[in-house]
Amino acid sequence: MHIYIIKRLLQAIPVILLVTVITFSLIHLMPGDPAIMRAGEDATLEQVEQIREAMGLNEPIPAQYLNWMSGLVRGDLGESLQDGRPVFTTLMQRLPATLYLVLASFVVSLAIGIPVGILSAVRQNTFIDTFARGFALLGISMPSFWFGLMLVLLFSYRLQWLPASGAGSFQQLIMPALALGMASAGLITRMTRSSMLEVLKQDYIRTARSKGLRAQIVIYKHALKNAMLPVVTVIGLQLGYRLGGSVIVEQIFAYPGIGRFAYTRLLARDFPMIMGNLFIFAMIFIIVNILTDIVYGFLEPRIRYD
Amino acid sequence: MLRKKKLFFSVIALLILSLLFLTACGDTDDNGNDEDQAANGDADQDNDEPSEDARTEVVWGAVQDPDTLDPRLSTSAYSEEVSELIFNSLIYPDENLEMVFDLATDMETPDDNTYIFTLREDVYWHDGEKFTSEDVVFTFESILDEDFGSPHLSRTNFDAVEAIDEYTVQFTTEEPNAAAWTSMRRFIVPAHLAPRDGYEPDEGNFAFNPVGTGPFKLTEWTPNDQIVLERNEDYFEGPVQLERIIRREIPEEETRYTELLNGNIDIAATPEREMDTVEANDDLTLMISGTLNYFPIAINHGIDDSPLNDVRVRQALNYGIDKEAIVSHLWPTAEVMHNPIVPGTWAYDDDATYKYAFDQDKAMDLLDDAGYGDGLEVTITMSNAATNVELGEMLKSYYDQIGVTLEVNTMEFSSALDLILDGDFELYHMGSVGMYDPHDFMSRFINGDGVTSYDNPEFNQLVEDAVKIIDDQDARAELYSEAQQIMTEDAYNVPMYNSQAWMAWNSDFNFNYDYVIRSRAFKDAYWSN
């Protein structure tokens, strides 16, 4: 098992390298740079050139990449071109808020998705099932920015129950978590339902039933555990989407997380900050994937790590 | 039968779900009980002095974070509105665009090229150091230094700065320059703390730990979240009434508006389409102010063999669209503009300005004359802001009617700006903001130096002569009148509009909003209860 984890971590190195090369090139290929943003809309070209020179943007891109890489190897992600702040420290200030939000959104989507999915499978083709499937479809199809604004409209504007922005209190977490969690709640509902239906048809379930076990035990002990495998895969993959989705949700609720920060720095073309951000996102993604694989082992002892 | 039943239940389920959302969207009764409460321009007329237990803290809902708080390195309005509270300048323009002394007490102009400022001697930096002429010279020398990379450099209208003694500073210009003062209004930073090299990472800290002389000190800045400013007890004009300003970044305007209505923030810019509702709301005070912003559809004059080099084509582009209709639809508070000088300012001359009425027949005749009777293709480059996308649609349909095929090229702001500054465009739409002196905007169209490469010898001469007239505003205005006539008749671009700015706040808060004064107004602000 340890060997497996080490192996996976080593395999991650070329992946990270590739990610950095691709993102670095993409960032420098897109039009616009921090010098232009600083110079403002009626600057002269010379002015922009001077600022570029001062920022060190006139060096060839491969040289800039190597420069960045050599910093990375020493554990230094560089400094922002916008305000001179160290990238790593700034990102670490903001990451916890986003992780907290993502975690809360998982609680939302699991708390909704799994029970509704089970209910929907057990009561297949009933009103409950139809309702659950409609709900799942709606959850998946609703864009989070729209759903977020609707939440603001209902709970902040009309009812005045919840604050519409900021972070720090539990009340401030509810709406962003709902907005972010809804899409995967729908997805998890559907995954749980179809996976449960699959499992419920298996012979061992029929055996369990015929032994005279109570329905609850059959469903929760025998069926659910086996039905969870595909759901875990989805949850792992969803984390990546969550980090992406957090950009929009954090924007709507003025939530001070890393997603909104990444977005504003992308618009400002703060290259070192964007690179640092993408690097950390990539790392999280890789780690979560490894963790997902490890969780498989607990759910399905037949899976071997060698 | 079974299928029908399923369908029935699906429909019911969907209906229930959509009900959930409709209750959210449903209109409750408007609290607009039509009391015709005019925009309270007189916020401080009903001002009873602040009561003993009045609040001393204000929560300000802002649109965006400052990009940096080293004022030498930013032209962003979001940086400036915070810098105005932390820093001071020698002089600044008041709401009538007249110069007011701040860190200076007096200015002498012994000749047309020299400006001598006498500084206040009772000013201390937030860290207790004394403010002297050294700080002023340091600030402007770094701005003038090419290697420093200040965006203010190309907007600087003087050539040298030196200290005469501890409290006297002298600016000199090579040529007489009537607009020199606009670049002397920069915020002064402390020589003992601010970095001399704009991008030295170790020293970069000043940009987010700024130390100024202003009425407030920065005590906390969590990027993209909040900035906390505490009162400077040793402010040279005496401590202000507010003890603390919390500036929260809330980018989404609906969220910001909701927070204002709920009282979670006290002051914010409200959505433009909610203007009437805000005005009718007794709990809020709304104030609208004119701006110095100009939003044209600019024309590139620097492309060889372009149809745009033909004045008739440019005129046709002006006649071909209904500017009133476009502006009132997209920017309801804005005014249509006909030349870059903001109406109401001293240099604007309504009689000299040629105003293109909406006349598509004339536009088509002009295109015919120019040899483009059977069509013409033009591209417009702009940022992908929602209003721009809509603008593109409207322009496209107007121009279609006169046989001009408009290709609308919208992209993210930074990319659009890149293309525009590179001169890689035919038409573009983007604003020019904060133009205090007519030279600020006229100089963008001379000698082909500006982004649009406009170069008209007669016009160049007028603008260059005007800026050399130091003491006679009327004589200057006369030259600008002529220049306005030339540029508008020459259809140098398609002027669109002058925007308005506004702010709404809790009616118990005594505040005055003006676009030029902006957050300096927090100095005199206080709570009634």
Give the residue from A29, A30, A42 with the most B CB atoms within 10 Å of its CB, the best one to mutate: A42
Nearest to B264 among A47, A134, A163 (CB): A163
Tens digit of each residue's pLDDT (9 = 90 or more) over A50-89: 888 878 888 888 888 998 999 888 888 888 888 778 889 8
Beta bridge partners of B285: B505
Distances (CA, A) of A165 to A162, A254, B520: 9, 5, 26
Strands (E) in B136-256, as ranges, are 160-165, 168-172, 216-222, 226-231, 244-249
Among residues B484, B486, B515, which one has the least CA distance to residue B338? B484
B262: nearest CB among A83, A160, A256: A160
Average pLDDT estimate for B122-148: 94
pLDDT at A305 over 70: no
B54: closest CA of chain A, how far (Å): 24
Q: Is A74 inside a domain boundary?
A: no
Q: Which two tokens stand for residue B511?
A: 């505040």
CA distance A51 to A40: 11
A250 in a structural domain: yes
Indicate the residue of A30, A41, A164 with minimum beta-carbon distance to B417. A41
Nearest 5 degrees, angle CA A54-CA A56-CA A61?
Answer: 155
Q: Does B73 touch chain A (CB under 8 A)?
A: yes
Query: Could you tell me the pLDDT band of residue B202, with boundaries at 50, 70 and 90?
Result: low
User: Which residues of chain A make contact with B449, given a CB cutoff of 8 A?
Assistant: 44
Segment B441-490, tens digit of pLDDT: 888 899 888 889 999 999 999 999 999 998 888 999 999 999 999 999 99
Q: From the list B147, B254, B418, which residue is nearest A152 (CB)?
A: B254
Cβ within 8 Å, pair A84-B203: yes
Q: Is the pLDDT of residue B13 over 60?
A: no
pLDDT of the residue at B28: 37
A290 in any annotated domain: no
Q: Which span out of A34-48, B10-24, B185-199, B384-398 was modeled with the highest average pLDDT?
A: B384-398
Residues of A in Cβ contact (< 8 Å) with B12: 127
Tell whether A152 lies on the interface with B, counting CB pairs under 8 A. yes
- Would residue A11 count as lying in a domain? no
Contacts with A191 (C-beta within 8 Å, 6 or more apart), sequence order: A113, A117, A230, A231, A234
In a domain, A224, yes or no: yes
CA B225/CA A256 separation, integer angstroms: 5
Inter-axis angle of helices A144-151 and A224-252, nearest 10: 70
Per DSSP bridges, beta strands B500-506 and B284-290 are antiparallel
pLDDT at residue B6 in the model? 52
pLDDT of residue A42: 66
Q: Is residue A6 part of a domain?
A: no
Q: What is the mean pLDDT of residues A273-277?
A: 91
Are the CB atoms for B63 and A251 separated by under 8 Å?
no
DSSP code of residue A221: I
The pLDDT value recorded for residue B45 is: 43
3-state secondary structure of B482: helix
What's the confidence (pLDDT) of residue B218? 95
Q: What is the CATH number of the domain that holds A101?
A: 1.10.3720.10
Q: Is the dihedral of CA B289, B446, A53, A24 positive or negative?
A: positive
Q: Domain range holding A233?
A: 94-255
Can you give the pLDDT at residue B507?
95
Contact B484, B442 (CB under 8 A): no
Chain A 42-101, residues with CB within 8 Å of chain B CB atoms: 42-48, 50-51, 53-56, 78-86, 90, 93-94
Q: What is the DSSP letter of A251?
A: H
**Quick check: B66 and B222 in contact, CB under 8 A?**
no
Which segment of A91-105, B133-147, B493-507 scores lowest on mean pLDDT?
A91-105
pLDDT over 90 percentage in chain A:
15
Domain count, chain A: 1
% pLDDT > 70, chain B: 89
> Is the pTM of the predicted complex or chain greater than 0.90?
no
Instruction: List % helix, strand, coil for chain A (3-state, nearest 5).
Output: 80, 0, 20
Using the Cβ of A134 and the Cβ atoms of chain B, whether some distance falls under 8 Å is answered with: yes
pLDDT tens string A120-170: 988 888 898 999 999 899 988 888 889 999 999 999 988 888 888 888 888
pLDDT at A295 over 90: no
In a domain, A128, yes or no: yes
Q: Which two tokens stand for residue A209?
A: 């039933």
* Nearest CB to A254; choose among B9, B251, B433: B251
What is residue A294's predicted lDDT score, i.e. its pLDDT?
A: 81
Write the ipTM: 0.79
Asked if B458 and B446 count as a contact pair (C-beta separation under 8 A), the reply is no
Q: Give the CA dihedral A142, A148, A152, A155, nearest 10 degrees.
A: 70
| DSSP-assigned letter for residue B432 | B
Residue A124, both tokens: 């297949």
C-beta atoms of A39 and B421 within 8 A = yes
DSSP string, B142-162: HHH-GGGT-TTGGG----EEE
* Range of weakest confidence among A161-165, A192-196, A295-299, B467-471: A295-299
Residue A251 lies in a domain: yes
Q: What number is the average pLDDT over the span B270-274?
A: 89
What would the two tokens of residue B17 be?
């779900």
Backbone torsion region of residue A254, taken as left when φ is above 0, otherwise alpha when ψ lies between -120 and 50, otherwise beta: left
Closest-CA residue of chain B to A147: B21
